[in-house]
Structure 1
Amino acid sequence: HVFNDKGELYLQKRPAWKDIQPNKWDTSVGGHIDLGESVEMALKREAQEELGISDFTFELLTHYVFESNREKELVFCHRTIYNGEISPSNELDGGRFWSIEEIKNNLGKGVFTPNFESEFARLKF
């Protein structure tokens, strides 16, 4: 989770061509760990690939298993505060910072992925 100094959370928009949760807003950095990679190495790689950021410090918030009727994932959730330039990759349909209140007002309305809504509730931002 990428926050700025105002406490806003950066979310990515999934493109229409994605087969899972197209056109929905989601956690800004997500991906899979490659063979031989640590969680931290994968986090740095994915942040660079998806947002173009590489100079940041992070803290582990939690880890858990997410399961839906289509997938099952072991999720490691991290947090950073970042105020530099963000350049979403071509894999995304853009992104922006959201206030926590704005997120709360849009929960349950089909705006966000179920993964994000579940994690947002779990972490109680």
Structure 2
Amino acid sequence: MPDQEQIWHVDENDKPIGPVGRDDSRKLGLRYRLVRISVEDRQGNILIQKRTATKKTYPNCWDTSAGGNIDYPESYEQAALRELSEEIGIKVAALDEVAYFYAEAVDPDGNKMNRFTKVYRLVVDEQPELTLQPDEVSEARWVPLAELRDIVLGGAITDGLKQTFEHYYSKQ
């Protein structure tokens, strides 16, 4: 598929192999890179977003503040800054890395998602005005950690929010 978004194909140690089409990486079960961003306010609330009904995977599911694949030839942090700006309209110069993990999953269509993920955090003094990307995000809301825990345990969520909860939020 020549028009596929090109992302990083990496080995079992997260070392770059080269570009690969996003759909091909899942169909072939190749390892790739992903970022997740957690936007938090000083009162302990966490911003989560709901994916649109038109998303191919996990439609109408709650997800981290922002996140996505790392486009070739971006770095993890470049991708995190891009996704934060594109999905919810927040522009910053830097983020704090708070977690790094590898996880394997299968999406609802049976495609393999073998991903190295870095989680970045942005702490804001005041909840910023958001500009949601209409084809990606249907709504966003701020929730305290206890409510996020309830959403993760019983709500319609992405595997990425579940993994981020396990590797980052549950350690707070």
The within-5 A match list for 1:28-107 is: 28-55=65-92, 57-69=94-106, 70=111, 71-82=113-124, 83=126, 84-90=128-134, 91-107=136-152
User: 2:154 & 2:60 partners in 1: Cα distance?
Assistant: 13
Q: Deviations over 1:12-41 (max 9, x none)?
A: 101111121111100111112222222111
**Residue number in structure 1 paired with 2:54:** 17
Ranges in structure 2 where 5+ consecutive residues have no aligned partner = 1-37
Q: Deviations over 1:73-92 (max 9, x none)?
A: 11111111123222211121
How far residue 93 of structure 1 moved from its aligned partner, in angstroms, is 0.7
Identify if the C-alpha distance between structure 1 residues 31 and 114 changes in structure 2 by more than 3 Å, giving closer, same or farther: closer
Q: Which amino acid in the other structure matches residue 7 of structure 1?
A: G
What secondary structure sits across from 1:102 in the alignment? helix
Find the structure with the greater CA-based Rg: 2
Indicate yes or no: 2:27 matched with 1:27.
no
Q: Deviations over 1:80-117 (max 9, x none)?
A: 11232222111211111111111122332133223212
User: 2:149 & 2:68 partners in 1: Cα distance?
Assistant: 25
> Which protein, 1 or 2, shows the higher relative CO under an 8 Å CA cutoff with sep ≥ 6?
1
Normalising by structure 1, report the TM-score.
0.89
Structure 1 moving runs of 4+ over 4 Å: none
Normalising by structure 2, report the TM-score.
0.67
Pick the structure with more strand per residue.
2
How far residue 56 of structure 1 moved from its aligned partner, in angstroms, is 5.5
102-111 vs 39-48, greater mean Cα deviation = 102-111
Identity across the alignment (%): 29
5-14 vs 107-116, greater mean Cα deviation = 107-116
CA RMSD of aligned residues (A): 1.6
User: 1:23 & 1:121 partners in 2: Cα distance?
Assistant: 21
Ranges in structure 1 where 5+ consecutive residues have no aligned partner = none
Contact 1:66 1:115 in 2 (8 A): no
